[in-house]
Protein backbone atom coordinates (compact mmCIF):
# COMPACT_ATOMS: atom_id res chain seq x y z
CA UNK A 1 0.00 0.00 0.00
CA UNK A 2 1.11 3.52 -0.72
CA UNK A 3 0.32 4.55 2.87
CA UNK A 4 3.12 2.38 4.27
CA UNK A 5 5.56 2.57 1.36
CA UNK A 6 5.70 6.28 0.68
CA UNK A 7 9.04 8.09 0.55
CA UNK A 8 9.23 9.27 4.21
CA UNK A 9 8.29 5.83 5.56
CA UNK A 10 10.81 4.05 3.35
CA UNK A 11 13.51 6.53 4.34
CA UNK A 12 12.72 6.06 8.04
CA UNK A 13 12.86 2.28 7.67
CA UNK A 14 16.20 2.50 5.86
CA UNK A 15 17.47 4.90 8.51
CA UNK A 16 16.61 2.45 11.30
CA UNK A 17 18.33 -0.38 9.42
CA UNK A 18 21.48 1.68 8.92
CA UNK A 19 21.49 2.80 12.56
CA UNK A 20 21.22 -0.80 13.74
CA UNK A 21 24.15 -1.78 11.49
CA UNK A 22 26.16 1.19 12.76
CA UNK A 23 25.45 0.13 16.36
CA UNK A 24 26.61 -3.41 15.53
CA UNK A 25 29.88 -2.07 14.06
CA UNK A 26 30.49 0.12 17.10
CA UNK A 27 29.86 -2.86 19.37
CA UNK A 28 32.34 -4.98 17.42
CA UNK A 29 34.91 -2.21 17.57
CA UNK A 30 34.54 -1.90 21.34
CA UNK A 31 34.61 -5.70 21.80
CA UNK A 32 37.88 -5.90 19.84
CA UNK A 33 39.49 -2.92 21.55
CA UNK A 34 42.40 -4.94 22.95
CA UNK A 35 42.93 -7.18 19.91
CA UNK A 36 46.28 -6.52 18.28
CA UNK A 37 46.16 -5.42 14.62
CA UNK A 38 42.37 -5.01 14.67
CA UNK A 39 41.20 -2.14 12.48
CA UNK A 40 37.93 -0.46 13.32
CA UNK A 41 34.94 -1.03 11.10
CA UNK A 42 33.72 2.36 9.93
CA UNK A 43 30.07 2.95 9.12
CA UNK A 44 29.41 6.04 7.11
CA UNK A 45 25.84 6.51 8.25
CA UNK A 46 25.16 9.92 6.72
CA UNK A 47 26.63 8.91 3.36
CA UNK A 48 24.58 5.73 3.27
CA UNK A 49 21.42 7.55 4.34
CA UNK A 50 21.88 10.20 1.65
CA UNK A 51 22.38 7.38 -0.86
CA UNK A 52 19.14 5.74 0.28
CA UNK A 53 17.39 9.09 -0.01
CA UNK A 54 18.83 9.58 -3.48
CA UNK A 55 17.53 6.16 -4.58
CA UNK A 56 14.01 6.93 -3.32
CA UNK A 57 13.94 10.51 -4.64
CA UNK A 58 13.16 11.68 -8.16
CA UNK A 59 15.72 10.76 -10.77
CA UNK A 60 17.46 13.34 -12.93
CA UNK A 61 17.73 13.27 -16.70
CA UNK A 62 21.30 14.52 -16.92
CA UNK A 63 24.04 12.13 -15.66
CA UNK A 64 26.16 15.08 -14.50
CA UNK A 65 23.58 15.82 -11.80
CA UNK A 66 24.07 12.51 -10.00
CA UNK A 67 26.87 12.36 -7.44
CA UNK A 68 29.19 9.32 -7.24
CA UNK A 69 28.12 6.35 -5.14
CA UNK A 70 29.38 7.00 -1.57
CA UNK A 71 29.89 3.28 -0.91
CA UNK A 72 32.59 3.20 -3.63
CA UNK A 73 34.64 5.98 -2.01
CA UNK A 74 37.10 4.57 0.53
CA UNK A 75 36.69 5.83 4.09
CA UNK A 76 38.97 8.71 5.09
CA UNK A 77 42.18 7.95 6.98
CA UNK A 78 40.77 9.07 10.34
CA UNK A 79 37.99 6.45 10.10
CA UNK A 80 40.47 3.60 9.77
CA UNK A 81 43.16 2.37 12.10
CA UNK A 82 43.08 1.24 15.72
CA UNK A 83 40.03 1.55 17.91
CA UNK A 84 39.86 4.57 20.22
CA UNK A 85 37.31 4.10 22.99
CA UNK A 86 36.44 7.82 23.22
CA UNK A 87 35.62 8.00 19.52
CA UNK A 88 33.54 4.83 19.72
CA UNK A 89 31.59 6.10 22.72
CA UNK A 90 30.99 9.41 20.93
CA UNK A 91 29.77 7.55 17.85
CA UNK A 92 27.56 5.37 20.05
CA UNK A 93 25.96 8.42 21.72
CA UNK A 94 25.32 10.10 18.36
CA UNK A 95 23.92 6.87 16.95
CA UNK A 96 21.57 6.50 19.93
CA UNK A 97 20.26 10.06 19.48
CA UNK A 98 19.63 9.44 15.78
CA UNK A 99 17.91 6.13 16.53
CA UNK A 100 15.65 7.73 19.14
CA UNK A 101 14.71 10.48 16.69
CA UNK A 102 13.94 8.00 13.91
CA UNK A 103 11.78 5.80 16.15
CA UNK A 104 9.87 8.85 17.41
CA UNK A 105 9.28 10.01 13.84
CA UNK A 106 8.07 6.54 12.84
CA UNK A 107 5.79 6.37 15.89
CA UNK A 108 4.26 9.76 15.04
CA UNK A 109 3.64 8.60 11.51
CA UNK A 110 1.71 5.57 12.73
CA UNK A 111 -0.13 7.64 15.34
CA UNK A 112 -1.31 9.93 12.56
CA UNK A 113 -2.52 6.92 10.60
CA UNK A 114 -4.37 5.64 13.68
CA UNK A 115 -6.04 9.02 14.16
CA UNK A 116 -7.06 9.12 10.52
CA UNK A 117 -8.55 5.62 10.69
CA UNK A 118 -10.34 5.95 14.03
CA UNK A 119 -11.26 9.61 13.74
CA UNK A 120 -10.19 10.22 17.34
CA UNK A 121 -7.47 12.53 18.55
CA UNK A 122 -6.82 10.55 21.77
List the chain domain ranges. Answer: 7-33+42-73+83-118
Comparing C-alpha atoms, which of 27, 17, 3 is closest to residue 116? 3
The answer to whether the CB of 20 falls within 8 A of the CB of 96 is no
Mean pLDDT of 91-110: 92
pLDDT > 60? residue 58 = no
The answer to whether the CB of 15 falls within 8 A of the CB of 102 is yes
Mean pLDDT of 66-82: 55
What percent of the chain clears pLDDT 90, i.e. is strictly above it?
Answer: 21
Q: Is 37 left (phi over 0), alpha (psi -120 to 50) or beta?
A: left
Question: Residue 18: which pLDDT band, with cuts at 50, 70 and 90?
Answer: confident
pTM of the model: 0.65
Mean pLDDT of 8-33: 88
The whole-angstrom separation of Cα 44 and Cα 16 is 14
Question: Residue 37: which pLDDT band, with cuts at 50, 70 and 90?
Answer: confident
Question: Residue 6: which pLDDT band, with cuts at 50, 70 and 90?
Answer: confident
The answer to whether the CB of 25 falls within 8 A of the CB of 83 is no
Mean pLDDT of 78-85: 70
pLDDT > 70? residue 61 = no
Amino acid sequence: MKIFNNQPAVLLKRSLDLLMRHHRNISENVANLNVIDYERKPTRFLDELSEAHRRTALHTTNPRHIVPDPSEIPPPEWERGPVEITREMTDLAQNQIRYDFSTRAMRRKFEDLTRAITGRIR
